[in-house]
Structure 1
């Protein structure tokens, strides 16, 4: 029996959704695609829908019911839930693409208020860089400790349980490359000395920095700085160049698995080095160059609204430095879930491997780290230690094959980086406050703006992914919100129709937002469809087939060329980002604050028809046009009522 002192909120188990309801919602999600096909080919929409309805009915009454029963049985035998224990993590780990840009997320921190103005074009290592790095890592680990001690987000609340479980996946863990399917390491125990270290990467050299003292706990920021200074002195005075092992972790996963095995076969020291990295708390990557964009890269940005207080070139160069550039790609270790990156100017951010936890978790931790300005007076009062105390080298033993592998991996990594068309948009004309005052969910409103921008630039509709968190459930991860709907399609078509009335556009906007609100609620409460469809497909046994899953439209409805996700208001971030899922698509992360919306937009330069500049411009136009629609509707309503001010009914 639990007492008040050890009470812990209980999160419910993630349910297996109802089969008929899932398939009904799936059919509904196909309607915009069927309407497009009917318009394009002249085929009867009713016939197209009837055919899919028949396939759904056949599946429901036959093989689908059998798969559902198998899913129930799998759930019964799963420790936590049917999804996370069996499919979700495995889906990440089986993906063979390089983590660089394709999978890892990135966060761009605001500058510290104490940022020296004369260090923006710095190279080499600077005292301010090391001060800020020490402060950010210390604050990050301080937050981790407060979570574990329940000083914040106690486990007596559902949020506390969910947050503690997920923060625990950020630290002392790493993805380990294996052929065909990677593995995720077991979180290292606090009794293991390796679990007390931070990995510091400087000039491609790897080091351990002991962040916890056996007697005093988390070391003070001054002690951290002292150890960091010693590491940088060592890294900058060592003879020769470090082998670029970090870039191997940016390679295709099977290739990295093969190279890691080769490293381990060369010397047992390499196995110990890799183990130390895997078990370490996190990484700190110190860049030796402040990245700047070539002037030719900035010309296309001049027609867009410029961010206030900073140039677009500075904003994007900072973004690229955190995501990775050719100059720092070897100075990262892409398998770690959380790495802080700091350049000589003190510009900072974080990046991480996605599989252990979703980007919202590290973003909340990072907000805590950035929220307070650097304070180097908070010393630890520990006795002064010898210069070689509290840190150590992690050296890799290499041979000609490995050195050639690093050169080849760098070429492939640079090709990925050079093909990444990545930029930030600060839309400062209005933000979530205005959207709420008009009665709209900011998230739904922004999603419709992106739908409109996509259509205006591509001339067609596409399956759109938005992340929903299933955090109300034990070990809940994410579900898909299928943003493209029959209602969003109708709204977009009205917005580009010169003959459509403002009243019609406004009505369709309201209707589309109501639909999106319903989709979001379903996805967040365990009643989404895509994870369930994944589970049903995985329950098919050899030789079993059905028309539902063989339908080309089934795959097309999950071709997320527009992949999106919203985080917090982003008060402490300049921007965020992740890579597009398809070469001719976009990866878009957004931060909706009261008076500004920040978008991180990524696509590929090799993509057919996509361009971050083009999309940003279309997004600005969409946001302006949508506000104009609402404002005109408000004026007309006021005229009709001639009394109370207009207000759209809150959803």
Structure 2
């Protein structure tokens, strides 16, 4: 999950500025500044003296500017002139950031959002952590969430030309990309499916997966959104059909698991699957054209952890994080349900842009394919769907709590749904099982958890520390990394460039000279609180400046990527600037981070670490608390999500002490 909100602007969409191609010299100077902390650290560990190392990189940058770099810059400017929207989005970003990746989408690319519980649902239902089978409350909440989600789609579309502010146009354009969108696997490079034709009936339907079967369920009739009670009746009839199939001994093919596989493997299997029958083509087309997905899981996932997983306290003795607490276990179990578990991986279609997930306890969330839009957009959709709890007055009956109730059997006959069947052969059946087994390894290696830090939030940071909350949190992550690794790393934070026409994202390079100096001071027991507070302020100022530059088209990483891609190695074009080990290290984002929103309606969020020995961290900063979704890999001996949660907690505690003179700064490892 990798994005952060920007500042809203006014103006019309047609007058939005194009994403600029930054001046080459300014990008090179900013790049040289960004690698200084790496060179300082090399010198501190006995490597090349800092000024010698920096002089060498400056020489390479100057040579690049005088030579092939200027040629590449001219190519980029020419490309921008012939691009309808901007040089980045029209030519590079989708492919390089997403479509050319061959890794499976599950954990590695798909984001996940964990919704707060609906207060209208009986607590015993939500607490039914051992529940299995589809439940009435699960279906009711699913109907409500789908209805609210599609209601929001209609509301945004209906604004039309009435909101021509930059924010309004940006929102309308991006919300549209959440619906009727699907990624298609292709060898070497995937594609996004083209917009479906209006004649396709599936464009007015959602795709429902239940017990691994696929169904097409009507959501609109004559362009009018169905009443939520009618949508519930459709879902109820679908569940009844799936239950009857199970009772007859039928077993669904595990086609959904194929979409969790490595992308070239999935491309080959999809090609084979579509060649088996015309029915398979129609089924896949319906999935691609459909509005969104809905997964009704038949098991409520639960967790158990041994007390010996509790990590040691790294800093202050007041660390409040306990991964074995029952509340934490339930929260993480809910998180894993939405991310995907080994039992529900076949009950998904990971290529869809947006899928709502509800389990038997009526816990819910959403996951989706990342390429169509950045993470802020689905979070806006998700918040709208849950800001209002279920209105029981919109339903005609009171729900039973018994899973085996006749509520499903007594469902009113409905013509608003149909089966989406697959024809399989021995080859595909084996591939489904093999894909599920491979996905199981990925999921079991995902060390994923949510930390709710409740000691303070953005109000304290702004009023007492008098610092920018996002930059403050980023420094806490820098300190937490150093405390757990004894070294520094390149850190990626995303910001939106939405002030530009078809703007997407840019990188904020969090690891700076100023952040390095502050972390080292915090690790030195001789440092006073006032010294550390001064250095923290400098790190915050530096980070805020980088954020402003990145959001206003003056970042360096997208520009450097464009220049590098326009080199022609086959014609002997190369640059020591890009082959330099320091350049590679400065773009190896072991710490991949993003802030999202206050997140009061989300229990947690998450996305996968980019590197096996790194972390993927999404945070929700509210007035009185900060939630961190943290993912790493069990296979790496260098990472531990529980350890990092403790490190973040301790770092935030110690940062608060800097502003409380009556407390003596704690000793550090």
With the shorter chain as reference, the TM-score category is: over 0.9
Q: CA deviation at 1:298?
A: 8.6
How far does the alpha carbon of each residue in 1:208-253 deviate from its partner, in whole angstroms, 9 at most, with x for none? Answer: 0010001x60001000000000000001111411000000000000
Structure 1 residues 83 and 296, CA gap change in structure 2 (3 angstroms): same
In structure 1, the residue corresponding to 2:495 is in which secondary structure? Answer: strand
Q: Check conservation: 1:12, 1:472, Cα contact below 8 A.
A: yes
Instruction: Report the counterpart of residue 645 of structure 1 in structure 2.
Output: none
Q: For 1:575, which of 576, 579, 604 is the aligned residue?
A: 604
Q: 1:418 aligned to 2:418?
A: no
Q: Check conservation: 2:323, 2:329, Cα contact below 8 A.
A: no
Q: 1:332 aligned to 2:341?
A: no
Q: CA deviation at 1:608?
A: 3.0
Q: Check conservation: 2:506, 2:550, Cα contact below 8 A.
A: yes
Distance 1:373 1:361 in 2: 21
Q: CA deviation at 1:194?
A: 1.6
Instruction: Report the counterpart of residue 649 of structure 1 in structure 2.
Output: none
Q: For 2:592, which of 563, 579, 596 is the aligned residue?
A: 563
Distance 2:307 2:94 in 1: 38
With the length of structure 2 as denominator, give the TM-score of the two structures. 0.91
**Structure 1 residues 307-456: aligned runs within 5 Å:** 311-378=327-394, 387-437=413-463, 438-456=465-483
Q: CA deviation at 1:297?
A: 8.0
Q: Check conservation: 1:8, 1:155, Cα contact below 8 A.
A: no
Q: For 1:252, which of 248, 262, 267 is the aligned residue?
A: 262
Instruction: Report the counterpart of residue 287 of structure 1 in structure 2.
Output: 297
Q: For 2:216, which of 208, 212, 218 is the aligned residue?
A: 208
Q: Check conservation: 1:263, 1:398, Cα contact below 8 A.
A: yes
**Structure 1 residues 503-518: aligned runs within 5 Å:** 503-518=530-545
Distance 2:303 2:15 in 1: 50
In structure 2, the residue corresponding to 1:632 is in which secondary structure? Answer: coil
Instruction: Report the counterpart of residue 274 of structure 1 in structure 2.
Output: 284
Instruction: Report the counterpart of residue 21 of structure 2 in structure 1.
Output: 16
Q: Check conservation: 2:106, 2:260, Cα contact below 8 A.
A: yes
Instruction: Report the counterpart of residue 264 of structure 1 in structure 2.
Output: 274
Q: CA deviation at 1:632?
A: 2.1
Q: Check conservation: 1:419, 1:605, Cα contact below 8 A.
A: yes
Q: CA deviation at 1:387?
A: 1.5
Q: CA deviation at 1:607?
A: 1.3
Q: Check conservation: 2:354, 2:368, Cα contact below 8 A.
A: yes
Q: 1:116 aligned to 2:132?
A: no
Q: 1:230 aligned to 2:225?
A: no
Instruction: Report the counterpart of residue 190 of structure 2 in structure 1.
Output: 182
With the length of structure 1 as denominator, give the TM-score of the two structures. 0.93
Q: CA deviation at 1:483?
A: 0.4
Q: CA deviation at 1:304?
A: 4.2
Q: Check conservation: 1:9, 1:155, Cα contact below 8 A.
A: no
Q: For 1:69, which of 69, 74, 85 is the aligned residue?
A: 74
Structure 1 residues 533 and 634, CA gap change in structure 2 (3 angstroms): farther
How many residue pairs are counted as aligned between the two chains?
Answer: 626
Instruction: Report the counterpart of residue 227 of structure 2 in structure 1.
Output: 220
Q: CA deviation at 1:165?
A: 1.1
Distance 2:443 2:320 in 1: 24
Q: CA deviation at 1:294?
A: 2.8
Instruction: Report the counterpart of residue 524 of structure 2 in structure 1.
Output: 497
Q: Check conservation: 1:171, 1:187, Cα contact below 8 A.
A: no
Q: CA deviation at 1:155?
A: 3.6
Distance 1:155 1:102 in 2: 36
Distance 1:232 1:376 in 2: 21
Instruction: Report the counterpart of residue 552 of structure 1 in structure 2.
Output: 581
Q: CA deviation at 1:513?
A: 0.1
In structure 1, the residue corresponding to 2:631 is in which secondary structure? Answer: strand
Instruction: Report the counterpart of residue 86 of structure 2 in structure 1.
Output: 81
In structure 1, the residue corresponding to 2:624 is in which secondary structure? Answer: coil
In structure 1, the residue corresponding to 2:91 is in which secondary structure? Answer: helix
Distance 1:253 1:233 in 2: 34
Structure 1 residues 613 and 487, CA gap change in structure 2 (3 angstroms): same
Q: CA deviation at 1:192?
A: 2.9
Q: Check conservation: 1:301, 1:312, Cα contact below 8 A.
A: no
**Structure 1 residues 296-311: aligned runs within 5 Å:** 296=306, 300=310, 304-305=320-321, 311=327
Q: Check conservation: 2:233, 2:412, Cα contact below 8 A.
A: no
Quick one: higher RCO (CA 8 Å, sep 6+), 1 or 2? Answer: 2
Distance 1:502 1:118 in 2: 48
Instruction: Report the counterpart of residue 642 of structure 1 in structure 2.
Output: none
Distance 1:443 1:634 in 2: 25
Q: CA deviation at 1:377?
A: 2.5
Q: CA deviation at 1:407?
A: 0.8
Distance 1:301 1:213 in 2: 55
Q: Check conservation: 1:223, 1:379, Cα contact below 8 A.
A: no
Q: CA deviation at 1:190?
A: 4.0
